[in-house]
Structure 1
Amino acid sequence: MKIRAEGVAEVTDADFTAEVLGAEPPVLVEFTADWCGPCRQLAPVVSAVAKETAGRLKVVQIDADTNPDTVSRYGVLSMPTLMVFRQGEPVKSMVGARPKRRLLVELSDVLEPVGA
């Protein structure tokens, strides 16, 4: 079963540079895998965060199993891993599922100000 967070784009090794590293707002990348139970728990949280932070944070997913180059480039060892990129550089990394409120608190320092 393919895990997809609703309203969240999927990126691949091929378009990671353009979609994530070249993006203007900060980007939250969820490294996920179909076999990962906590990833399934996190999918609705990631969807809700994407909706709530629209325009201030770009949210994407990448399948760890089918995109090994990106996974190894950033040293991702556990699923789910959430990584925030700003201006092409990883600035924050979090491992494991978490509730939406906690994730929003953890992201507060990287979110673009409203109306920026």
Structure 2
Amino acid sequence: MKPSRLDKRIQIERSGPLVHNGTQNVPGPPVVVWKRSAQFIGSPGRERYANAETAAAMPALFRIRWDSKIDPDAVGGLSVEDRLRCPARPDGQLWEIVSVVPVGRQDAIDIGVVRIVR
């Protein structure tokens, strides 16, 4: 993996600790867990916009360097319950993580995402 291809800065967010809202416990505000450099690959080979209902949902792929802390097989590693923000700043675009796949032998991690439109 060439460092020159890692041209996007992303942050991985996880739901914060539970907060009691007066009637029940709800997840708190998201907490930034990791910030990494990534390669944006775009739509992973299938039709981007199948119909009008999914026009706002854009699938994409981010590739990051493998890290033992982020490894999806590790305890507390990256999972589909997390979310991704690119660029890594508060007003960056939110992406829902739909798949996390290690590439090669500790080479990289592919993060399959779908853009969240609000």
TM-score class, shorter: under 0.3
- TM-score, normalisation: structure 1: 0.25
Q: Per residue, is there more strand in 1 or in 2?
A: 2
- TM-score, normalisation: structure 2: 0.25
Greater relative contact order (Cα 8 A, min sep 6): structure 1 or 2?
1
